Amino acid sequence: MERKDFSSWLEGPPQLNSQQWPGEGLGRPERGPGSVARFPRRLLAVCLDWGLSMLVSYWLFNSHELATLLVFLAGQLLGVGLLGHSLGHRIFGMQVQSMEGKALKSLQGLIRSVLLCLFVPALVIDKDQRGLHDRLAKSILVNIR
């Protein structure tokens, strides 16, 4: 017996469709404009959007929890649905696009925003770092700088 006889099981199972970076299988570059936005910046953007929603909710509605969620939803609908990015996305240099690299349609923005407000779909991600809310809306969050 030689080492090569054991190397296959020592290295683990073969990786089918292995990719080097998130979005490679979708034809996205590794870095720069058009590349998939990574988790830390995504988290910072959503925290900024949520914090701003809390401030508006406090100012207008005495900080009611449901009001905060509705303000967040409205910000996502208006920002992502019309402009392709929320304020947090814009500050951190990201944009939500359709899989073809174009602006989202209104229905896609609505689906993505409502599912994002449910929070759980955002935690279910695939190898391309697309949350369930992005997969169902057929969208992707990419870097624009």
pTM score of the predicted model: 0.82
145 residues of the chain, pLDDT tens digit each = 555 555 554 555 555 557 899 999 999 999 999 999 999 999 999 999 999 999 999 999 887 889 999 999 999 999 998 899 999 999 999 999 999 999 999 999 999 999 999 887 788 889 999 999 999 999 999 999 9
Domain that holds residue 69: 35-143
Beta bridge partners of residue 36, listed in sequence order? 142
Residue 139 CB contacts under 8 Å (≥ 6 apart), including other chains: 96, 97, 98, 99, 104, 108, 112
Q: Look at residue 3 in the predicted model and tell me its pLDDT.
A: 54
Q: Please report whether residue 75 resides in a domain.
A: yes
**How many domains, in total, are found in the chain?**
1
Question: How many Å apart are CA 22 and CA 124, to the nearest integer?
Answer: 15
Q: Residue 88 has what pLDDT?
A: 97
Tell whether 18 is covered by a domain: no
